Structure 1
Amino acid sequence: MSSEPHPCRQKPLAAAIATASGQYGTVSWAQARECGLTRTDVKRLTRRGEWLNPHRGVYVVRALVPEARSLERLRCVALAAQFALGPRACAAGPTAARLWGMQGLERWDGREVHIVVPGRDPSRRPNGIVLRGWDVSPQETTVLGGLRVTTPGRTLCDVLPGLDRETAVCLMDSTLNQGLLGREDIPGLDERMRGRRGCVGVRRWWNLADGRAQSPLETRIRLICQDGGLPPDELQRRFTDRDGRTVAVVDFWWEGLRLIGEADGIGPHSTPRALARDRERQNALQALYPDVRIARFTWADLRRPGYVLALVAGEVRPARL
């Protein structure tokens, strides 16, 4: 027996798949029905494994499933959750932070998403959904890439109080760097968080935030140096050649120590091409500025802050590319 759908059903199926392709592979039963599919059609597709059924009345086209643990997969899972929970459902907390591109949280586990539904009992939840009982106003939500999410400010209010200092400052730096919030917004956020557990620490940590940081590694290295009494004098310092052309923009600069710091480091995922490019850039800097030292920091260095401080102070020799 042929596994192809009946010719009269091919057109509705194509329409449903086209709908799903614009929704990260996700389609609701109501949308499938509007495209002309019947319940029998949908049951046949799920039975054959061509469509997945993560929640009641919600389907994901297997051929359109995004790569595991990618941002597109997160969007797919979050949208499926919103279809399941209704039009008031909104991505919140860590899920909203990741959807906004805020850097610094642990990598998404590929399964659970955090959703808030005003008025819904958070103790009852569909599989794979962490329901939050937060009171979120309409003014604190928006639409991002077809998904309902809490605004950047509301997202930080929900996420920051539960984090350690380093992770919190990473999110603060990332939010400022991307222009999702400005310094002028911080007093308002502090006021909105007043009374929440952890809000006092968050208020202090804003003083450590710097929107020039371009990665969580930069933020964490900077905090180590600040804690050790060796804060960098400049971030994203521009170095030029004799004609004023930019040779490099470096992550950290210590004027008195004549030290350039780079927070990209040499890691297991560095490619030969990337290493060659970094080596060429470092050699050009060293040739133009022979009196400076160049130190490179990796994620592994975060486990030994004493080494980072010794490297900045010039007590150990930096690794060569």
Structure 2
Amino acid sequence: MAEVHIRQLLSVDAENLCAMGQDWPFVGTEALSAGLVTRRTLRSRHEMVYRNIYLPKGQSPTPVTRAVAAWLWSGRNATVAGLSAAALHGSRWIDPRLPAELNRAEACSGSIVIHREQLCDDEIGVVRGIPVTTPARTAFDLGRRKGLNTAVIRLDALANATRLNPVDIEAVADRHRGSRGIVQLRQVLDLMDRGAESPQETRTRLLLVRAGLPKPQTQIVIRDRFGIPFARLDMGYEECKVGVEFDGAQHWTDPAQRTADIDRSAEVSALGWQIVRVSSDLLRHRPGVVVARTCAALRAAGCSWLGECGLDSRFLRENVA
């Protein structure tokens, strides 16, 4: 559908919603009434996502388009919540197969998760014309869901996209004392870090903390001898000049990226830094090796607090050969 046609179908902040792109959800009956599609083209060129809500045929729903589609399905009478809210706020790494989430008082759909939470006025914002839970309220909801690691990953991603601070989430939590999952949320707030730029970076950081090491700093800027920034490390312990880098597939499969990594690594090492490199395989199958190498690097750097940081002896016995 042409962009001008999309604008005709929307009653709320059409200009902003069009910024999402032309191939986004629309209400079938509205398109028919406006003469923008026929019943034949509606069926032949589009697929129904929810009842009366369509996407162009062949387009796989993303977390964002699924959120918009669910909101349109509600009759534009709901607040986008949960992971759908996180997607609209710019969060990445959300599984596109997960159902959309709305907060509303009535009606339900088997393919849309409906929450019936009491939302305060200042816990609802607007993103491109759509009512959505604020980043702080969204984090409050996601951080209470079962699975500590998953919750931290989701809050890291949301905070990275919105620059959200734990204190903002704590303010919402203080208002809703006694809510289910509040104990886990407090743990998540201690562990979250908006410097994480991928789920694997979050998992690496949580591994080190679980082993008993202090929470590493994230996105450490490295400067050359003239004070000019030339590199950024995923995480590490700056005072000991020990960095921990997660190397995704692109670091091995892209020749240009690999060459740049080699050059950068040489420059960083020349400044006295030790870098512990982590892969998906190490993280999944040999986490103890990551911890052992990090501890060895800290020990070699003469890190004074290493012997006092309370390493988890049981974890080390079970995971470090």
- Please indicate the TM-score interval, normalised by the length of the shorter structure: 0.7 to 0.9
Q: Is the 8 A contact 1:222 1:231 kept in 2?
A: no
1:219 Cα deviation (Å)?
2.2
Distance 2:238 2:141 in 1: 39
Distance 1:166 1:198 in 2: 14
Residue of 264, 273, 276 corresponding to 2:256: 273
Q: Distance in 1 between matches of 2:132 and 2:255?
A: 40
Q: Are residues 74 and 216 of structure 1, via their aligned partners in 2, closer, same or farther at CA, if it must alter by over 3 Å?
A: closer
Return the offset for 1:255: 5.2
Does residue 245 of structure 1 match 2:245? Answer: no
Equivalent residue for 2:96? 108
Q: Map of 1:302-321 to 2, 5 A cutoff?
A: 302-303=283-284, 304-314=286-296
Change (3 A) 1:34 1:260: same
Structure 1 residues 273-298: Cα deviation after superposition (integer angstroms, max 9, x where no partner) = 22122112112222x22x43221112
- Counterpart pick for 2:67 among 65, 72, 78: 78
Deviation at 1:306, TM superposition (A): 0.8
Contact residue 25 and residue 76 of structure 1 kept, 8 A = yes
Name the CA distance, whole Å, in 1 between partners of 2:64 and 2:87.
10
Residue pairs, 1:160-179, within 5 angstroms: 160-179=143-162
| Structure 1 residues 232 and 55: alpha-carbon distance in aligned structure 2, compared to 1, 3 A threshold | closer
- Partner of 1:4 in structure 2? none
- 2:238 and 2:34 map into 1 onto residues whose CA distance is 65
Q: How far did residue 309 of structure 1 move?
A: 0.6
- Aligned CA RMSD, in angstroms, stands at 3.1
1:91, distance to aligned residue in structure 2 (A): 1.9
**Structure 1 letter corresponding to 2:228:** R
User: Would the aligned equivalents of 1:16 and 1:31 in 2 still touch at CA under 8 Å?
Assistant: no
Over 3 Å counting, the alpha-carbon distance change for 1:281 and 1:232 in structure 2 is farther
3-state SS, counterpart of residue 162 of structure 1: coil
Output one character per residue of 1:141-168: Cα deviation in whole Å (capped at 9) or x when no partner: 2222343322112212222111322222
Aligned residue number for residue 199 of structure 1: 182
CA contact (8 A) 1:75 1:147 kept: no
Give 3-state SS (helix, strand or coil) of 1:314's partner: helix
The answer on whether the counterparts of 1:58 and 1:83 sit within 8 Å (CA) in structure 2 is: yes
Percent identity for Structure 1 against Structure 2: 29
Q: Which runs of 5+ in 2 are unaligned?
A: 10-16, 298-321
Q: Residues 161 and 198 of structure 1 are in contact (CA less than 8 Å); yes or no, is this contact kept in structure 2?
A: yes
Q: Distance in 2 between matches of 1:57 and 1:247?
A: 52
Deviation at 1:104, TM superposition (A): 6.2
Separation (CA, whole Å) in 2 of partners of 1:17 and 1:197: 41
Supply the AA of the counterpart residue of 1:28: V
Is the CA contact (8 Å cut-off) linking 2:143 and 2:184 kept in structure 1? no
- Higher-Rg structure is 1
- Matched residue, 1:95: 84
Quick check: 1:104–1:167 contact (8 Å CA) kept in 2? no
Cα shift readout 1:164-203 (whole Å, capped 9, x = no counterpart): 2222222333333344422431331221342222211211
- Distance verdict in 2 for CA 1:27–1:180, change over 3 Å: same
Determine whether 1:32 maps to 2:31.
yes
Instruction: Determine if the alignment matches structure 1 residue 42 to structure 2 residue 25.
Output: no
Alignment CA distance shift 1:259-1:18 (3 Å): same
Shift in Å, 1:19: 4.9
Task: Give the TM-score, by structure 2 length.
Answer: 0.75
**Equivalent position to 1:150, from 105, 109, 133:** 133
